[in-house]
Amino acid sequence: MVARWEAARVRQQLSAAVRHVPSRVLAIALLAFVPVARAFAQGAAPPAASIRIEVDNDVFVLRGSGPPPDYDYTHGTRIAITWPGAPGRLARAAGADQRCASAVTERPCLLSSLALGQEIYTPRHNAPTPIAGDRPHAAWLYGAAALERLTAATLQTLRLRAGVTGPPALGGAAQNEMHRLLHNKPAVGWQAQIPTRLAINAQYDATRLVARRVSPGPSRFLSGSVGATGGTLRLAMRAAAAAYYGFGDAGTWGTASPLVARPGRFHVAAGYEQSLVVHDSFIEGVGATKGASLIPWVGEAYGAVGVRIGRMEAEYRYVSRSREYRAAPDGHPYAAIVVSLVGR
C-alpha cells in the first residue's frame, strides 16, 4: 500500500514539474523516469538510466575560411533516454535477463530507450525552384523506441522510428531560424519539399567485439557490425568497423554506450561504414516531388574525441560521407556534438 502511494506521489511531482518545462522533449524524457521511480518506491535499487543529446550540423565542421557546406544532411537533433531493463515478456522472448547491471554479463540482458528526433536535408543549390538532378528539401520529425540485447562481447539493437515528413516536420522553420541567428542567407525552396506523409522505419544492427582489453583499466576495443534498415523512407544494408580507445582513470558503465564497460576519462574513437542503399526518399523524392539519381554504394567515416566529467560525457565527432547521388560533385562532411548524462 505504501509503495503504491509513493509511486503515485512521484507521478504527481513529475507531472507538476513537466508543466513548468518549456520543451515537450524534456517533458517526455522526465516522464520516462516514472518506471524507475516506481521501482525505487517498491524498495528495488534504482537502475542507472542515461540521457543522451546529439546535435548534428555542418556548421560544426572544422574548416578554414569560408561558409560551411549547408546542404545534403545539414542538421539533426536527437534526445534519448536509455535504461537497463525491459518488460518481462520481451526478456523471455529474447532469452535474456530483464535488466542489465553492467556491460560484463554472464547472461544476455536487455536495455530499452525512447527518443525524439528531427532530421533536415537540403539540395546543393539554394534556389527558389528545384534544380534537375539535385536532391529535394526534406525533413523528418519522429519518435523512436529501441530494445538492445547486451552480452559481454555483443550488442543487438532493434529500433523503430515513426513520424511525419513535409511541413509538419518543421524543417524550413528550424533551418531558417538557425540562419537568422547566424546572420546567414535564408534557405529558399522549402515550398517544394517532399510532401506530408506518415513514415515508419525499422533498423536492426548486430555488433561484436573482435578485440578488447580485459584489464581493469579503461575500455579499449575493436568491433565489427552488420545491419539493415527498412520501411517507407529507406531501404539499405550495411557493414561497419569501429575502434574505441579510453585513457585516464576508468569510470563506471553507463547505458548510453552499452559496449563501453569502463569509459575512459578521455577517449578517441574512429569507424567506417559501407552501405548498400536500395531506396532513400530523402534523395529520390516522394510522389510528385522529384529528386536525384541514387548512388547505391555509400561510405561513411568518422573520428571522435571525448571527455568524461563526473556523470557527464561530451564528444565531438567529425563525419565524412561519400557521394550519395549522381549530380553531387563530391561527398559531404558534417559534425556532431554529443552530451550524455548518466543517472544513479
Could you give the CA distance from residue 102 to residue 109 in angstroms, rounded to a whole number? 9
Rounded to an integer, the average pLDDT of 272-293 is: 96
Yes or no: say if 301 and 318 are a contact pair by the CB < 8 Å rule. no
Same domain membership, residue 164 and residue 105:
yes
Could you give the CA distance from residue 201 to residue 313 in angstroms, rounded to a whole number? 29
Mean pLDDT, the chain, integer: 86
Is the pLDDT reported for residue 65 higher than 70?
no
CATH code: domain of residue 285? 2.40.128.140
Q: What is the pLDDT of residue 24?
A: 39
Same domain membership, residue 82 and residue 28:
no
* Confidence at 102, pLDDT banded by 50, 70, 90: confident
Same domain membership, residue 52 and residue 37:
no
Q: What is the pLDDT of residue 344?
A: 62
Using DSSP, state whether 296 is helix, strand or coil. coil
Same domain membership, residue 54 and residue 26:
no
Rounded to an integer, the average pLDDT of 69-73 is: 89
Considering just the CA atoms, what is the radius of gyration of the chain in Å? 21
Q: What is the pLDDT of residues 7-63, one digit of tens each?
A: 444 344 434 433 333 333 334 333 443 443 343 333 344 447 899 999 999 889 987
Same domain membership, residue 176 and residue 33:
no
Same domain membership, residue 186 and residue 116:
yes
Q: In total, how many domains does the chain have? A: 2
Is the pLDDT reported for residue 303 higher than 50?
yes
φ, ψ dihedrals at 18, nearest 5°: -60, -35
Same domain membership, residue 189 and residue 73:
yes
Q: What is the pLDDT of residue 92?
A: 92
Among the residues of 144-272, which ranges form H helices?
A: 171-182
Please name which of 328, 323, 270 lies closest in space to residue 299, comparing C-alpha atoms.
Answer: 323
Same domain membership, residue 81 and residue 206:
yes
C-alpha cell at 33: 523516469
* Confidence at 105, pLDDT banded by 50, 70, 90: confident
Same domain membership, residue 159 and residue 35:
no
Q: What percent of the chain has pLDDT over 70?
A: 85
Task: Give residue 308's domain range.
Answer: 47-342
Number of H helices, E strands in the chain: 6, 14
Among the residues of 19-87, which ranges form H helices?
A: 24-31, 34-41
How far CA 293 is from CA of 33, 116, 226, 235, 303, in Å, comes to: 44, 30, 25, 15, 29
Same domain membership, residue 138 and residue 244:
yes
Is the pLDDT reported for residue 103 higher than 70?
yes
Rounded to an integer, the average pLDDT of 61-75 is: 81
Q: What is the pLDDT of residues 203-261, one digit of tens each?
A: 999 999 999 887 889 999 999 999 999 999 999 999 999 999 999 999 888 899 999 99
Same domain membership, residue 62 and residue 38:
no
Is the pLDDT reported for residue 109 higher than 80?
yes
Same domain membership, residue 147 and residue 15:
no
* Confidence at 66, pLDDT banded by 50, 70, 90: low
